[in-house]
Amino acid sequence: MGDFIMEAGSSIGSSFLSSIIIDVRSPAEYEHAHIPDALNLPLFDNDERAMIGTTYKKQSREAAIKAGLPLFGNKMLPMIETVESWIAAAQKEKSLTKPTIYVHCWRGGMRSAAVAWLLDLYGYKVVQLTGGYKAYRNWVLEQFTIPYSLKVVGGYTGSGKTEILHALQEKNYSVIDLEGLAHHKGSAFGAIGQLPQPSQEMFENILAKKLWEVNKNKKTIWIEDESQRIGTVLIPTPLFHLMRNSTCYFMTIPFEQRLLFILEGYGKFDQQSLIEATERIQKRLGGLETKNAVEHIKQGELKEAFSILLKYYDKWYEKNAQNQVLPKVELIPVLSEMVDPNHNAHLLEKLSE
Protein backbone atom coordinates (compact mmCIF):
# COMPACT_ATOMS: atom_id res chain seq x y z
CA MET A 1 0.00 0.00 0.00
CA GLY A 2 2.92 2.32 0.62
CA ASP A 3 4.01 1.85 -3.00
CA PHE A 4 0.48 2.64 -4.10
CA ILE A 5 0.51 5.84 -2.04
CA MET A 6 3.74 6.93 -3.72
CA GLU A 7 2.43 6.07 -7.17
CA ALA A 8 -1.08 7.43 -6.79
CA GLY A 9 -0.53 10.00 -4.09
CA SER A 10 -1.90 12.76 -6.28
CA SER A 11 -5.29 11.09 -6.33
CA ILE A 12 -5.25 10.67 -2.58
CA GLY A 13 -4.33 14.32 -2.22
CA SER A 14 -7.22 15.52 -4.35
CA SER A 15 -9.83 13.67 -6.39
CA PHE A 16 -9.60 13.23 -10.14
CA LEU A 17 -5.99 14.35 -10.68
CA SER A 18 -4.56 11.35 -12.52
CA SER A 19 -6.51 8.46 -11.06
CA ILE A 20 -9.74 7.46 -9.38
CA ILE A 21 -9.92 5.35 -6.22
CA ILE A 22 -13.00 3.15 -5.97
CA ASP A 23 -14.03 1.55 -2.68
CA VAL A 24 -16.38 -1.38 -3.34
CA ARG A 25 -17.13 -2.09 0.32
CA SER A 26 -20.65 -1.69 1.68
CA PRO A 27 -22.05 1.79 2.38
CA ALA A 28 -21.78 1.23 6.15
CA GLU A 29 -18.09 0.28 5.89
CA TYR A 30 -17.38 3.29 3.68
CA GLU A 31 -19.31 5.73 5.86
CA HIS A 32 -17.41 4.64 8.96
CA ALA A 33 -14.03 5.36 7.34
CA HIS A 34 -12.38 5.22 3.94
CA ILE A 35 -9.35 6.37 1.97
CA PRO A 36 -9.75 10.15 1.63
CA ASP A 37 -11.29 11.05 -1.75
CA ALA A 38 -12.16 7.43 -2.56
CA LEU A 39 -15.54 6.98 -4.25
CA ASN A 40 -17.98 4.36 -3.02
CA LEU A 41 -19.21 1.82 -5.57
CA PRO A 42 -20.60 -0.90 -3.28
CA LEU A 43 -20.72 -4.37 -4.74
CA PHE A 44 -23.28 -5.29 -2.06
CA ASP A 45 -25.46 -3.12 0.14
CA ASN A 46 -25.37 -3.52 3.93
CA ASP A 47 -28.02 -6.27 4.10
CA GLU A 48 -26.57 -8.17 1.15
CA ARG A 49 -23.09 -8.09 2.67
CA ALA A 50 -24.44 -9.43 5.97
CA MET A 51 -26.29 -12.23 4.20
CA ILE A 52 -23.29 -13.28 2.11
CA GLY A 53 -21.00 -13.13 5.12
CA THR A 54 -23.33 -15.39 7.09
CA THR A 55 -23.49 -17.82 4.17
CA TYR A 56 -19.68 -17.88 4.00
CA LYS A 57 -19.32 -18.63 7.72
CA LYS A 58 -22.17 -21.16 8.09
CA GLN A 59 -21.91 -22.92 4.73
CA SER A 60 -18.88 -22.38 2.50
CA ARG A 61 -16.97 -20.04 0.26
CA GLU A 62 -18.59 -21.60 -2.77
CA ALA A 63 -22.09 -21.11 -1.36
CA ALA A 64 -21.32 -17.46 -0.66
CA ILE A 65 -20.11 -16.94 -4.23
CA LYS A 66 -23.28 -18.54 -5.62
CA ALA A 67 -25.39 -16.29 -3.39
CA GLY A 68 -23.52 -13.21 -4.57
CA LEU A 69 -23.40 -13.86 -8.32
CA PRO A 70 -27.05 -13.00 -9.10
CA LEU A 71 -26.71 -9.79 -7.09
CA PHE A 72 -23.56 -8.84 -8.96
CA GLY A 73 -25.13 -9.63 -12.32
CA ASN A 74 -27.98 -7.20 -11.74
CA LYS A 75 -25.55 -4.42 -10.80
CA MET A 76 -23.05 -4.70 -13.65
CA LEU A 77 -24.67 -2.16 -15.98
CA PRO A 78 -25.40 0.46 -13.27
CA MET A 79 -21.83 0.13 -11.99
CA ILE A 80 -20.38 0.71 -15.45
CA GLU A 81 -22.62 3.72 -15.97
CA THR A 82 -21.65 5.18 -12.59
CA VAL A 83 -17.95 4.86 -13.35
CA GLU A 84 -18.53 6.39 -16.78
CA SER A 85 -20.08 9.45 -15.12
CA TRP A 86 -17.14 9.75 -12.70
CA ILE A 87 -14.62 9.55 -15.53
CA ALA A 88 -16.57 12.09 -17.59
CA ALA A 89 -16.48 14.47 -14.63
CA ALA A 90 -12.75 13.86 -14.21
CA GLN A 91 -12.07 14.48 -17.88
CA LYS A 92 -14.12 17.68 -17.83
CA GLU A 93 -12.55 18.99 -14.61
CA LYS A 94 -8.94 18.04 -15.19
CA SER A 95 -8.76 17.47 -18.96
CA LEU A 96 -7.73 13.86 -18.43
CA THR A 97 -7.74 11.33 -21.22
CA LYS A 98 -7.99 7.95 -19.51
CA PRO A 99 -7.35 7.90 -15.75
CA THR A 100 -6.21 4.79 -13.94
CA ILE A 101 -8.87 3.23 -11.72
CA TYR A 102 -7.71 1.78 -8.39
CA VAL A 103 -10.19 -0.67 -6.90
CA HIS A 104 -10.18 -2.03 -3.36
CA CYS A 105 -12.31 -3.80 -0.78
CA TRP A 106 -11.39 -4.81 2.78
CA ARG A 107 -8.54 -7.25 2.06
CA GLY A 108 -8.21 -7.01 -1.70
CA GLY A 109 -10.29 -10.15 -2.13
CA MET A 110 -13.30 -11.28 -4.11
CA ARG A 111 -15.32 -8.06 -4.02
CA SER A 112 -12.61 -5.88 -5.53
CA ALA A 113 -11.51 -8.68 -7.87
CA ALA A 114 -15.04 -8.93 -9.29
CA VAL A 115 -15.39 -5.18 -9.87
CA ALA A 116 -11.85 -4.89 -11.24
CA TRP A 117 -12.64 -7.70 -13.71
CA LEU A 118 -15.82 -5.92 -14.84
CA LEU A 119 -14.14 -2.56 -15.36
CA ASP A 120 -11.15 -4.17 -17.10
CA LEU A 121 -13.53 -6.08 -19.39
CA TYR A 122 -15.18 -2.79 -20.31
CA GLY A 123 -11.80 -1.38 -21.31
CA TYR A 124 -10.64 0.72 -18.39
CA LYS A 125 -7.11 0.72 -17.01
CA VAL A 126 -7.66 -0.95 -13.65
CA VAL A 127 -5.41 -1.81 -10.70
CA GLN A 128 -6.67 -3.94 -7.83
CA LEU A 129 -5.03 -2.72 -4.63
CA THR A 130 -3.08 -5.52 -2.95
CA GLY A 131 -4.18 -5.99 0.63
CA GLY A 132 -7.13 -3.62 0.25
CA TYR A 133 -8.27 -1.16 2.89
CA LYS A 134 -6.68 -3.27 5.63
CA ALA A 135 -3.22 -2.71 4.11
CA TYR A 136 -4.02 1.00 3.76
CA ARG A 137 -4.85 1.16 7.47
CA ASN A 138 -1.48 -0.37 8.28
CA TRP A 139 0.12 2.39 6.20
CA VAL A 140 -1.94 4.99 8.09
CA LEU A 141 -0.77 3.76 11.49
CA GLU A 142 2.85 3.74 10.32
CA GLN A 143 2.62 7.48 9.55
CA PHE A 144 2.18 8.25 13.25
CA THR A 145 5.44 6.51 14.19
CA ILE A 146 7.65 8.65 11.92
CA PRO A 147 9.95 11.00 13.92
CA TYR A 148 8.78 14.22 12.33
CA SER A 149 10.52 17.48 13.16
CA LEU A 150 7.80 19.46 14.94
CA LYS A 151 7.45 22.97 16.29
CA VAL A 152 4.46 23.44 18.58
CA VAL A 153 2.47 26.69 18.82
CA GLY A 154 1.24 27.17 22.39
CA GLY A 155 -0.71 29.80 24.26
CA TYR A 156 -3.71 30.38 26.46
CA THR A 157 -7.23 30.17 25.06
CA GLY A 158 -7.93 33.04 22.69
CA SER A 159 -4.34 33.42 21.49
CA GLY A 160 -5.33 32.72 17.89
CA LYS A 161 -3.09 29.66 17.60
CA THR A 162 -5.05 28.16 14.72
CA GLU A 163 -5.00 31.47 12.87
CA ILE A 164 -1.23 31.66 13.43
CA LEU A 165 -0.87 28.25 11.77
CA HIS A 166 -2.86 29.49 8.78
CA ALA A 167 -0.65 32.56 8.56
CA LEU A 168 2.45 30.35 8.63
CA GLN A 169 0.94 28.19 5.91
CA GLU A 170 0.48 31.28 3.76
CA LYS A 171 4.23 31.81 4.16
CA ASN A 172 4.80 28.29 2.74
CA TYR A 173 5.63 26.61 6.06
CA SER A 174 4.52 23.02 6.57
CA VAL A 175 1.50 23.04 8.86
CA ILE A 176 -0.89 20.53 10.43
CA ASP A 177 -4.18 22.03 11.65
CA LEU A 178 -5.43 19.29 13.98
CA GLU A 179 -8.57 21.18 14.94
CA GLY A 180 -9.43 21.78 11.30
CA LEU A 181 -9.04 18.09 10.49
CA ALA A 182 -11.08 17.14 13.58
CA HIS A 183 -13.82 19.72 12.92
CA HIS A 184 -13.57 20.84 16.53
CA LYS A 185 -11.89 23.70 18.43
CA GLY A 186 -10.96 21.53 21.38
CA SER A 187 -13.08 23.10 24.14
CA ALA A 188 -16.67 22.71 25.33
CA PHE A 189 -17.47 25.37 22.72
CA GLY A 190 -15.39 23.65 20.06
CA ALA A 191 -18.23 22.05 18.09
CA ILE A 192 -20.16 25.30 17.60
CA GLY A 193 -20.22 26.27 13.94
CA GLN A 194 -18.30 23.15 12.89
CA LEU A 195 -19.14 20.25 10.60
CA PRO A 196 -19.87 16.88 12.28
CA GLN A 197 -16.70 15.24 13.54
CA PRO A 198 -15.32 12.25 11.65
CA SER A 199 -15.02 8.85 13.27
CA GLN A 200 -11.74 8.13 15.03
CA GLU A 201 -10.65 5.91 12.15
CA MET A 202 -11.54 8.51 9.53
CA PHE A 203 -9.74 11.23 11.50
CA GLU A 204 -6.62 9.04 11.49
CA ASN A 205 -6.94 8.50 7.73
CA ILE A 206 -7.25 12.23 7.06
CA LEU A 207 -4.40 13.06 9.44
CA ALA A 208 -2.10 10.43 7.91
CA LYS A 209 -2.76 11.80 4.45
CA LYS A 210 -1.96 15.32 5.60
CA LEU A 211 1.23 14.23 7.37
CA TRP A 212 2.38 12.40 4.24
CA GLU A 213 1.67 15.48 2.11
CA VAL A 214 3.48 18.00 4.29
CA ASN A 215 6.40 15.68 5.07
CA LYS A 216 7.34 15.17 1.42
CA ASN A 217 9.65 18.18 1.58
CA LYS A 218 11.15 16.95 4.90
CA LYS A 219 10.77 20.39 6.49
CA THR A 220 9.85 21.14 10.09
CA ILE A 221 6.10 20.93 10.66
CA TRP A 222 4.23 23.54 12.71
CA ILE A 223 1.40 22.13 14.83
CA GLU A 224 -0.84 23.48 17.58
CA ASP A 225 -0.46 22.50 21.23
CA GLU A 226 -3.47 20.31 22.04
CA SER A 227 -4.66 17.91 24.66
CA GLN A 228 -4.85 14.41 23.24
CA ARG A 229 -8.64 14.54 22.93
CA ILE A 230 -10.15 16.98 20.43
CA GLY A 231 -13.89 16.67 20.87
CA THR A 232 -14.69 13.01 20.21
CA VAL A 233 -11.42 12.05 18.51
CA LEU A 234 -7.95 11.37 19.87
CA ILE A 235 -4.56 12.35 18.49
CA PRO A 236 -2.77 9.01 17.89
CA THR A 237 -0.57 8.31 20.90
CA PRO A 238 2.82 8.13 19.10
CA LEU A 239 2.22 11.50 17.44
CA PHE A 240 0.92 13.01 20.68
CA HIS A 241 4.06 11.89 22.54
CA LEU A 242 6.19 13.41 19.78
CA MET A 243 4.32 16.70 20.18
CA ARG A 244 4.91 16.62 23.93
CA ASN A 245 8.62 16.10 23.33
CA SER A 246 8.98 18.94 20.82
CA THR A 247 9.73 22.58 21.56
CA CYS A 248 6.60 24.55 22.44
CA TYR A 249 6.60 28.23 21.46
CA PHE A 250 4.18 29.72 23.97
CA MET A 251 2.52 33.01 22.94
CA THR A 252 2.09 35.20 26.04
CA ILE A 253 -0.81 37.42 25.05
CA PRO A 254 -2.59 39.60 27.65
CA PHE A 255 -6.02 38.59 28.92
CA GLU A 256 -7.92 41.58 27.50
CA GLN A 257 -6.64 41.05 23.95
CA ARG A 258 -7.56 37.37 24.09
CA LEU A 259 -10.99 38.20 25.48
CA LEU A 260 -11.71 40.54 22.57
CA PHE A 261 -10.49 37.89 20.10
CA ILE A 262 -12.85 35.31 21.58
CA LEU A 263 -15.71 37.78 21.58
CA GLU A 264 -15.15 38.39 17.88
CA GLY A 265 -14.96 34.69 17.10
CA TYR A 266 -17.81 33.31 19.21
CA GLY A 267 -20.06 36.33 19.67
CA LYS A 268 -21.77 35.64 16.34
CA PHE A 269 -23.24 32.31 17.48
CA ASP A 270 -26.76 31.90 18.84
CA GLN A 271 -27.44 32.22 22.56
CA GLN A 272 -28.73 28.69 22.99
CA SER A 273 -25.55 27.09 21.64
CA LEU A 274 -23.42 29.26 23.94
CA ILE A 275 -25.61 28.44 26.96
CA GLU A 276 -25.51 24.69 26.27
CA ALA A 277 -21.72 24.78 25.91
CA THR A 278 -21.39 26.71 29.18
CA GLU A 279 -23.61 24.25 31.03
CA ARG A 280 -21.47 21.34 29.80
CA ILE A 281 -18.60 22.56 32.01
CA GLN A 282 -20.76 23.36 35.04
CA LYS A 283 -19.11 20.75 37.27
CA ARG A 284 -15.68 22.28 36.76
CA LEU A 285 -16.77 25.90 36.36
CA GLY A 286 -18.94 25.82 39.47
CA GLY A 287 -22.65 26.43 39.93
CA LEU A 288 -22.43 30.15 40.70
CA GLU A 289 -20.04 31.02 37.87
CA THR A 290 -22.12 28.95 35.45
CA LYS A 291 -25.29 30.76 36.54
CA ASN A 292 -23.61 34.15 36.16
CA ALA A 293 -22.18 33.34 32.72
CA VAL A 294 -25.51 32.00 31.45
CA GLU A 295 -27.35 35.07 32.73
CA HIS A 296 -24.85 37.37 30.98
CA ILE A 297 -25.40 35.44 27.74
CA LYS A 298 -29.18 35.77 28.06
CA GLN A 299 -28.79 39.51 28.61
CA GLY A 300 -26.52 39.84 25.59
CA GLU A 301 -23.57 40.74 27.82
CA LEU A 302 -21.17 38.47 25.99
CA LYS A 303 -17.98 40.20 27.06
CA GLU A 304 -18.86 39.63 30.72
CA ALA A 305 -19.82 36.01 30.03
CA PHE A 306 -16.66 35.26 28.06
CA SER A 307 -14.56 36.93 30.76
CA ILE A 308 -15.84 34.38 33.29
CA LEU A 309 -15.22 31.52 30.86
CA LEU A 310 -11.76 32.70 29.83
CA LYS A 311 -10.63 32.92 33.46
CA TYR A 312 -11.81 29.34 33.89
CA TYR A 313 -9.91 28.12 30.82
CA ASP A 314 -6.75 29.95 31.90
CA LYS A 315 -6.87 28.19 35.29
CA TRP A 316 -7.58 24.85 33.63
CA TYR A 317 -4.65 25.32 31.23
CA GLU A 318 -2.30 26.17 34.11
CA LYS A 319 -3.46 23.15 36.10
CA ASN A 320 -2.88 20.81 33.17
CA ALA A 321 0.51 22.39 32.44
CA GLN A 322 1.64 21.58 35.97
CA ASN A 323 0.96 17.89 35.30
CA GLN A 324 2.96 17.83 32.08
CA VAL A 325 6.69 17.74 31.59
CA LEU A 326 7.69 19.53 28.40
CA PRO A 327 11.36 19.28 27.44
CA LYS A 328 11.50 22.86 26.22
CA VAL A 329 9.13 25.84 26.33
CA GLU A 330 10.09 29.13 24.76
CA LEU A 331 7.98 32.12 25.78
CA ILE A 332 7.09 34.51 22.98
CA PRO A 333 6.06 37.89 24.50
CA VAL A 334 3.34 39.59 22.48
CA LEU A 335 2.81 43.27 23.26
CA SER A 336 0.50 44.33 20.42
CA GLU A 337 -2.85 45.95 21.16
CA MET A 338 -4.81 43.09 19.60
CA VAL A 339 -4.45 39.43 18.66
CA ASP A 340 -2.85 39.68 15.24
CA PRO A 341 -2.11 36.21 13.75
CA ASN A 342 0.03 37.60 10.92
CA HIS A 343 2.15 39.64 13.31
CA ASN A 344 2.47 36.71 15.71
CA ALA A 345 3.41 34.34 12.91
CA HIS A 346 6.20 36.76 12.01
CA LEU A 347 7.37 36.72 15.64
CA LEU A 348 7.50 32.94 15.56
CA GLU A 349 9.48 33.00 12.35
CA LYS A 350 12.14 35.23 13.86
CA LEU A 351 12.33 33.77 17.37
CA SER A 352 12.25 30.11 16.34
CA GLU A 353 15.09 30.30 13.81
Distances (CA, A) of 257 to 166, 223, 241, 253, 313: 19, 22, 31, 7, 15
Same fold, 2-141 and 148-351: no
Q: What is the pLDDT of residues 45-95, one digit of tens each?
A: 999 889 988 888 889 888 888 888 888 888 999 999 999 999 888 877 766
Residues pairing with 40 in the sheet: 23
Domain edges within the chain:
2-141, 148-351
- Cα 215 vs. chain centroid, distance in angstroms? 16
Q: Is the pLDDT of residue 12 over 60?
A: no
Q: How far is Cα 63 from Cα 71, in angstroms, rounded to an integer? A: 14
For the chain, what is the largest distance between any 2 Cα atoms, rounded to a whole number of angstroms? 73
Active site residue 105: yes
Instruction: Tell me how crowded residue 274 is: count the other CB atoms within 10 A of its CB.
Output: 23
pLDDT band at 317 (very low <50, low <70, confident <90, very high): confident
Residue 79: closest CA among 37, 48, 115, 108: 115
Distances (CA, A) of 25 to 2, 6, 71, 198: 21, 23, 14, 18
Out of 3.20.20.140, 3.40.250.10, 3.30.70.2970, 3.40.50.720, the CATH code matching 2-141 is: 3.40.250.10
Average per-residue pLDDT for the chain: 89
Active-site position among 24, 39, 52, 105 = 105
Topology classification of domain 148-351? Rossmann fold (3.40.50)
Torsion on CA atoms 317, 319, 322, 327, rounded to nearest 10 = -10
Q: What is the pLDDT of residues 105-154, one digit of tens each?
A: 999 888 999 999 999 999 999 999 999 999 999 999 999 999 999 999 99
3-state secondary structure at position 253: coil
pLDDT of residue 202: 98
pLDDT of residue 203: 98
**Residue 158 Ramachandran class (φ > 0 left, ψ -120 to 50 alpha, else beta):** left
Residue 164: closest CA among 353, 349, 351, 318: 349
Q: What is the pTM of this model?
A: 0.89
